[in-house]
């Protein structure tokens, strides 16, 4: 077979390890593997290269995505996708593995409807894809956030401050919950676990009266203005407060060992599904096992609330 692979949407540590696994296992099974540059853009522009064992050497440990990624809103248009399908067909490429998040999956499903053999691999730090317990990049991002929380605690404790840390996650609070628990946050605010601001400020006042020297608040992006919240806490609680928006730093860095393993397993599994003539599906990990589900069962579905959410109130 000729198999193409691309990375698309938000980059995530471990995407390279996933591409490497597709190339190495693909070659092992006798397939040719092509890397498409810059996500769906390279597909439309016919910008792809043959990847060999050697071309992915050293990629296991590298953050970002060496193939590049992009956002291409025009890919929602049928005429643009037709061009992409033609480019693959002209090269005799039989199948395409897309590594990315929800939007990438939507693009993949549209291509599957047009007759291409597509496999989706979940690559996003947000851990917001249904059908998998974990996505590639999530574990590394949690490590990055925990490192930041640990550092912010040192300084907030010295200055007797409430530190507010805004993390990514879009509509998923998993980054905030995992990192918040690991970092011993007093408050973890997520779309799934909203918090009454007045209650929180009352609790912070109580902490001050008890003689505590600091508190950590971890909050998912886009819930409220964290700098305004810091001002309000400073005005009302007796603690001074500062907000830190971690931003794109959460996307960077070498993938953690867990993400290297996850990406290696998922990339290999995607190729093995194609070997078995299975496509139109997305790869996932459930209870430590590789699984796959059709695109239609994943796109637009809700992820079940992670059981760690119930731990938040008990340990914070
Ligand atoms: P992510 O994959 O990280 O969620 P995006 O939401 O930006 O990132 O999606 C990546 C790309 O997938 C988009 O830039 C676009 O090219 C493509 N895409 C997203 N939604 C659709 C759709 N409904 N139909 C076709 N392509 C889509």
Q: Read off the pLDDT of residues 60-91 as tens digits, 9 standing for 90 and up.
A: 999 999 999 999 999 999 999 999 999 999 99
State how far the Cα of 279 lies from the Cα of 272, in Å rounded to an integer.
10
State how far the Cα of 53 lies from the Cα of 312, in Å rounded to an integer.
44
293 beta partners: 282
State how far the Cα of 230 lies from the Cα of 242, in Å rounded to an integer.
5
What pLDDT score does 40 carry? 98
Which numbered atom of ligand 1 lies nearest the CA of 74?
16
Residues labelled catalytic: 126
Spell out the residues 6+ positions from residue 58 whose beta carbon is closer than 8 angstroms to its own. none
What pLDDT score does 232 carry? 96
State how far the Cα of 143 lies from the Cα of 149, in Å rounded to an integer.
10
Which numbered atom of ligand 1 lies nearest the CA of 10?
3
Ligand 1 probe mutation, 10, 73, 104, most atoms within 8 A of CB: 104
Averaged pLDDT in 10-residue chunks for the chain of 316 residues: 97 98 98 98 98 97 97 96 97 97 97 97 97 97 98 88 96 96 95 91 94 94 97 95 97 97 98 98 98 96 87 83
State how far the Cα of 99 lies from the Cα of 134, in Å rounded to an integer.
14
Cα 73 to ligand 1 centroid, rounded to whole Å: 7
Q: How far is C-alpha 265 from the chain's CA centre?
A: 16
Tell the residue nearest (CA) to atom 10 of ligand 1: 9
Which numbered atom of ligand 1 lies nearest the CA of 9?
8
Cα 163 to ligand 1 centroid, rounded to whole Å: 34
Token pair for 11: 């980059």
Spell out the residues 6+ positions from residue 250 whose beta carbon is closer than 8 angstroms to its own. 125, 141, 144, 145, 167, 168, 175
Whether 100 is in the pocket of ligand 1, judged by its Cβ within 6 Å, is yes
What pLDDT score does 245 carry? 98
What pLDDT score does 289 carry? 98
| pLDDT tens profile 272-316 | 999 999 999 999 999 999 999 999 999 999 898 888 888 888 887
Sign of CA dihedral 220, 222, 224, 230: positive
SS3 labels along 97-126: EEEECHHHHHHHHHHHHCCCEEEEEEECCC
Of the candidates 130, 71, 155, which has an alpha carbon nearest to the alpha carbon of residue 294? 130
Cα 112 to ligand 1 centroid, rounded to whole Å: 14
Residue identified by tokens 């897309």 is 98
286 beta partners: 289
Token pair for 130: 């249904």
What pLDDT score does 84 carry? 97
What pLDDT score does 206 carry? 94
Whether 10 is in the pocket of ligand 1, judged by its Cβ within 6 Å, is yes
Cα 216 to ligand 1 centroid, rounded to whole Å: 34
Whether 65 is in the pocket of ligand 1, judged by its Cβ within 6 Å, is no
What pLDDT score does 174 carry? 97
Contact 147, 256 (CB under 8 A): no
Cα 9 to ligand 1 centroid, rounded to whole Å: 6
The CA-based angle 185-186-191, given to 5 degrees, is: 80
What pLDDT score does 194 carry? 86
């Amino acid at each position: 077979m000729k198999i193409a692979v691309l990375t698309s949407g938000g980059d995530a540590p471990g995407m390279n390890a996933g591409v490497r696994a597709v190339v190495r296992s693909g070659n092992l099974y006798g397939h040719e593997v092509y890397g498409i540059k810059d996500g769906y853009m390279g597909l439309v522009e016919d910008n792809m290269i043959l990847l060999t064992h050697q071309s992915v050497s050293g990629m296991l440990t590298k953050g970002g995505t060496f193939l590049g990624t992009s956002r291409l809103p025009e890919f929602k248009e049928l005429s643009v996708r037709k061009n992409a399908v033609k480019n693959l067909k002209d090269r005799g490429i039989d199948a395409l593995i897309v590594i990315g998040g929800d939007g990438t999956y939507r693009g993949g499903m549209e291509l599957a409807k047009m007759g291409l053999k597509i496999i989706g691999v979940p690559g996003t730090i947000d851990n917001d894809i249904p059908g998998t317990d974990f996505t590639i990049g999530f574990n590394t991002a949690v490590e990055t956030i925990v490192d930041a929380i640990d550092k912010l605690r040192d300084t907030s404790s010295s200055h007797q401050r409430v530190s507010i840390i805004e993390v990514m996650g879009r509509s998923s609070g998993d980054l905030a919950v995992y990192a918040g628990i690991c970092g011993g946050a007093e408050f973890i605010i997520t779309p799934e676990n909203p918090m009454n601001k007045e209650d929180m400020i009352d609790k912070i006042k109580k902490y001050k009266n008890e003689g505590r020297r600091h508190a950590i608040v971890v909050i998912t992006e886009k819930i409220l203005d964290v700098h305004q919240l810091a001002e309000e806490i400073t005005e009302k609680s007796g603690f001074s407060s500062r907000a830190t928006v971690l931003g794109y730093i959460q996307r960077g860095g070498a993938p953690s060992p867990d993400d290297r393993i996850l990406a290696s397993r998922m990339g290999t599994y995607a190729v093995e599904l194609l070997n078995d003539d299975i496509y139109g599906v997305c790869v996932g990990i459930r209870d430590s096992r590789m699984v796959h589900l059709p695109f239609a069962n994943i796109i637009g579905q809700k992820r079940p609330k992670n059981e760690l959410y119930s731990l938040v109130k008990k340990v914070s």
